[in-house]
Chain A
Amino acid sequence: MNNQVKPPRLARRLLKAFLRNDLAEEVEGDLDEKFHSEVKNKSVFKAKLNYWYQTLNYLRPFAIKKLNRLQVMNNHLLENYYKISKRNIFKHKMISFINVFSLAVGLAACVIIYLFVSDERSFDAFHAKNNNIYRLDEVQKFTGTNEQKVALSMPGMGPALSRDFPEVQMYVRLWLRGKQLISKNDTKHLIDNVMTVDSTFFDVFDFPLVQGDVNTCLDRPLTILLTESTALKFFNTTSEALNNTVTWDGKDYEVTGILKDVPENSHIQFEALLSMVTYTSGENNVNNSWGGNWMTTYLLLEPTANIPAMEEKFPAFMSRHMDDPEINTYYKLYLQRLDDVHLASTDIEHDYINYRKFNGSYLIIFYVIAAFILLIAAVNFMNLTTARASHRWKEIGVRKTIGAMKTQLFGQFIFESVMLAIIALVVGLLLGTLFLPILNELIGRQLSILPLFQNVWQLIAVLVGTLSLGIATGIYPSFYMTSFNLSRVLKGGNKGEGKSVLRSTLVVVQFGLAIAMMVSTLIVIQQLSFMKDSDIGFDKDQMMLVNMNNEANEKFETIRKELQKQSVIKGVTASGQRLGNNFHQGGFKVKADTGVLEITPSNVNVDYDFLNVYGIEVKEGRGFSKDNPTDQDFAFIINESFANELRLKETLGTKAGHGWYHNDSLGTIIGVVKDFNFNSLHYKVNTLAMVVHPGWGYEELSVKIEKGRTEEGIAAVKKVWDELVPSYPFDYTFLDAHFEEVYRSDKQMSAVVAIMAGLSILISCIGLFGLAAITIEKKTKEIGIRKVLGATEGQITVLLSRNFALLIVIAFAMVSPITYMALHRWLESFAYRININLLVFGAGGTLALAIGLLTISFHTLKSARANPVKALRYE
């Protein structure tokens, strides 16, 4: 027998910890015997392992210590705790209200933020292979244009990638057609977000097909899939739609499948899908199309694919497929995870297939805000409970005398705070349910509190969260209350609790957070109104945009003349692309003294009147004129950025043209306009060339309507349209609405921050209100004596407010630099931004101080005015 070897100590300690004392001897003996026999017959390691096994197997009801009844709460004690808690809650109604209300508001804010964030995170999660789907993006760097990330790619890339890279299981390309007129006999409808997609669409994505064969529905040319609601626009039932035909662009398309309507949380939104095969055969096979980026490519990769390694091989891939030796200075391909498409694409341009794109970094801000609010609410609870400790001293003293142990008292106070937290949760959920519809309205969501109850895990998380909140906020007060020694407590001891460093610190934290959020809100609002009101270089108000088709283009002159007859219409023009996004970029040539410069600016095709109607200022040269026959196709107006980029001695009159123009038949630069922000203010103004080229057709008619007569204007345009363009329904929007859309993510974030800042100030203030009530109540005698000795009301008010004011000032001083840095970083995401005005900080701080002092003034004034006799009579 090996006496050197001993059973594992930890296991033995564990055994001792849980085993009933009267069993200890025999069990330890048995296990030792077993251990030694194992050592003898097997190995030491196995013996130790077996000891553990045996120990854990003693975790049976019969062998476990009965918990000491004195140490835990038994039912009667719990009942008593409940009763006392209830009495306390009702006895101090104001304090209880503050406690419950602030925790409830905090919890409601957290729940709502959680709902918001999980809604954003749920995007595209319904695709089973979402972890292996990537979008192919490009970083483009052309001469004479800002470097940009782009969500478009060349049609040839998808097929070539799947041939060249074994990691690529499959590719699918989406070719966005936008709004299209689809008809069935006499029924005509504008169908939004029509796309042409590869037959692999359903192999990569999981959009449910309710009718039709998912494997073959996109295999043939001239086939179309409709969503249920689209199908019902043309047919009585979806079954009738299946295998029937609809007409688009003069051709009949067979309906080979019916899709469920696309869920809200999909970044790809469509109402009809056309099959790509129509374009992948013959001379113009798009699979061989390189050079132009006009499709969105998604790749389904092997789960084992190494993304960085793939991206490293992309330059070689590009060189293999494109002749240009410089190709890799222009293009850098990269892969973007499907999750990131919705949440991390705000810096990506030409990102047209991205419904409700959201800035994912805001989600972290939201989480931080939720934590802040909860912290502020928790501080209220801690401060009020500890400040009120003296009210409970007699109770604590009596309990201690009867024999309550520290742990029991501790348990009692934790019990109370957990109880309050649970009440707060109920109230919080009610508040949440009440205010969610208003919030939904404000931020354009359909959040609902219901899913919280449908998912068991979420419910458990909420409950566990609430319990831990109760425990966490209860711990400090419990320690504080149980730490007094008995004799002092029973003597009705005083002092030593009037001032508390920790309590003051908590108030500083609370107000610091509130001030930070308030200042941030002010800055965010300033930036947003800056974007809204700043001179973007053109007039976007009262500008109606009407979708145009071929017929409208052919009859453009007539439409214009008809419209201009009306007094309500201030101007009519047309353009190939809408303002508010980057315009498509394309090759451009400028003939300088040194030779022909190749540059890639943004390009837009506009009508003669475009500059006039939009109020874009011509800085040099002239605008387009119909009187000048060469102004069609061969006259260019560029913006200042472009002119600066060219740095020519004489810009006007310089020969220039699109990339495919022959060097001998270039047009002329006839004018330079002041820079205007055709793209969102997140981006710098890009170089731009405008041309009048009616041959390419215009996408949209812009009609400027007189202010205050919008309805009349819409009716007038509709009348003219319906008369002249019977082939296409009248479909319009307003440019400012479009700009709202462009800044939506920023707006929503500012709305949420503003609401939360308001809440945090509210919670902080009611906390302060309660705290002031308690501390001033304790000074009743002091105030009485001071008044008797001749202090004025003013002096006493100042005396009482001084400490609180000091705390707010400290909070302000501590939090300002951090807030400044955070805001500075946020503003850097805008190319056009405000400078942080330090006055805003001053305003925020002053506001917080004012609100704080106003809050406590109720108590300070009351006690300063009180009759000193009342205060002193009790002696």
Chain B
Amino acid sequence: MIETRLGEFEEVILLLSGILGEEAYAFKIAEEFESQTGRTVSIGAVHSTLTRLEEKGFLKSEMGKSTAERGGRRKRIYTITAYGKKTLANARDFKQALWDQFPGFATSKLSLGIQ
């Protein structure tokens, strides 16, 4: 059975690969993660997560272009799959549903709706 639940870190990485689009490869994702969250992360950790997400079918990858900084080496570009997008949306909806049941938060949202 394939694990379909998303961990917090996995979810963020998946989102970031979606955001970065053409530029979604391990180093860039790690950089983006650091700048967006303010937390440090090693490329290895990101890479390992990307591999796992690919195994689960949320991502697919192919080798992309090379640049001079990389000593002429190509990079592996990850693209989010439809299944990945769906899982992300499900995760968001599920949390939204939970938030809606959360007393303080739910009322304030409701009052916003009235205004």
Give residues in A with beta carbon < 8 Å to B: 1, 23, 25-34, 36-37, 53-54, 57-60, 62-63
Contacts and interface: CB of A to CB of B under 8 A. Distances in A.
Query: What secondary structure prevails in chain A residues at the interface with B?
Result: helix
B25 A26 contact: yes
B66 interface: yes
B73 A25 contact: yes
Interface string B73-102: 111100000000000000000000000000
Interface in B20-59: 25-27, 30-31, 42-45, 47-48, 51-52
Contacts of B30: 34
A30 B26 contact: yes
Contacts of B69: 1, 32-33, 36-37
15 contacts: A25-B63, A26-B26, A26-B73, A26-B75, A28-B70, A28-B71, A30-B43, A31-B27, A33-B69, A34-B30, A37-B69, A53-B42, A54-B42, A54-B43, A58-B47
Query: What secondary structure prevails in chain B residues at the interface with A?
Result: helix
Given A34-B27, A57-B42, A57-B43, A29 B48 contact: no
A34 B43 contact: yes
A32 B51 contact: no
Contacts of B76: 26
Nearest to A7: B71
A30 B52 CA distance: 18
Contact of B43 (A31, A36, A59, A62): A31
Contacts of B74: 25-26, 29
A63 B27 contact: no
A3 to B, nearest CB: 8
B78 to A, nearest CB: 11
Given A1-B69, A62-B52, A30 B75 contact: yes
Nearest to B42: A57
B44 A54 contact: yes
B80 to A, nearest CB: 18
Interface residues of B, number: 24
A62 B51 contact: yes
Contacts of B52: 62
A29 B43 contact: no
Given A26-B25, A58-B43, 5 more contacts: A1-B69, A23-B47, A25-B73, A29-B74, A57-B45
Contacts of B31: 37
Given A32-B69, A36-B69, A27 B47 contact: yes
B42 A30 contact: no
B22 to A, nearest CB: 15
Contacts of A57: 42-45
Contact of B48 (A32, A34, A63): A63
Given A34-B27, A62-B51, A29 B42 contact: no
A28 B26 CA distance: 11
Which 3 residue pairs spanning A and B have beta carbons closest together? A29-B73, A57-B44, A57-B42
A729 B20 CA distance: 99
Contacts of A26: 25-26, 63, 73-76
A59 B42 CA distance: 11
Contacts of B27: 29-31, 33-34
Nearest to A31: B43
A1 B66 CA distance: 17
A130 B31 CA distance: 55
A732 B45 CA distance: 80
A41 to B, nearest CB: 11
Contacts of A25: 63, 73-74
Most B CB contacts (10 A, CB to CB) among A1, A23, A32 go to A32
Contact of B73 (A1, A32, A37, A59): A32
Contacts of A1: 68-69
Most B CB contacts (10 A, CB to CB) among A26, A54, A58, A59 go to A26
A63 B44 contact: yes
Contacts of A27: 26, 43, 47
Contacts of B67: 33
A269 B48 CA distance: 64
B9 to A, nearest CB: 14
Given A26-B26, A26-B76, A33 B70 contact: yes
Given A26-B75, A26-B76, A32 B70 contact: yes
B70 A62 contact: no
Contacts of B68: 1
A65 B25 CA distance: 21
A23 to B, nearest CB: 8
Contacts of A54: 42-44
A717 B65 CA distance: 109
Contact of B66 (A29, A31, A58): A29
A1 B68 CA distance: 10
Contacts of B42: 53-54, 57
A26 B44 CA distance: 12
A29 B67 CA distance: 9
A53 B30 CA distance: 14
A490 B42 CA distance: 55
A566 to B, nearest CB: 95
A32 B73 CA distance: 9
Contacts of B51: 62
Contacts of A32: 69-71, 73
A680 B45 CA distance: 73
B106 to A, nearest CB: 41
B72 to A, nearest CB: 8
Nearest to A58: B44
A357 B20 CA distance: 78
A31 B45 CA distance: 13
A777 B73 CA distance: 65
Contacts of A59: 44
Contact of A29 (B44, B45, B70): B70
A60 B25 contact: no
A28 B73 contact: yes
Contacts of A34: 27, 30, 43
Contacts of A33: 27, 67, 69-70
Contacts of A60: 44-45, 48
A669 to B, nearest CB: 92
Contacts of B25: 26, 30
A63 B73 contact: no
A435 to B, nearest CB: 55
A58 B26 CA distance: 12
Contacts of B73: 25-26, 28-29, 32
A36 B69 CA distance: 7
Contacts of A30: 25-27, 43, 47, 70, 75
Contacts of B70: 28-30, 32-33
A40 to B, nearest CB: 10
Contacts of A23: 47
Contacts of A36: 69
Nearest to B41: A57
A8 to B, nearest CB: 15
A27 B48 CA distance: 11
A551 B73 CA distance: 104
Contacts of B66: 29
Contacts of B63: 25-26
Most B CB contacts (10 A, CB to CB) among A23, A30, A31, A63 go to A30
Nearest to A36: B69
A26 B66 CA distance: 9
A30 B48 CA distance: 13
B63 to A, nearest CB: 7
A57 B26 CA distance: 13
A812 to B, nearest CB: 63
Given A26-B63, A29-B75, A63 B47 contact: yes
Contact of B71 (A29, A37, A53): A29
A36 B31 CA distance: 13
A53 B52 CA distance: 22
A469 to B, nearest CB: 39
Contacts of A29: 27, 66, 70-71, 73-75
A28 B52 CA distance: 20
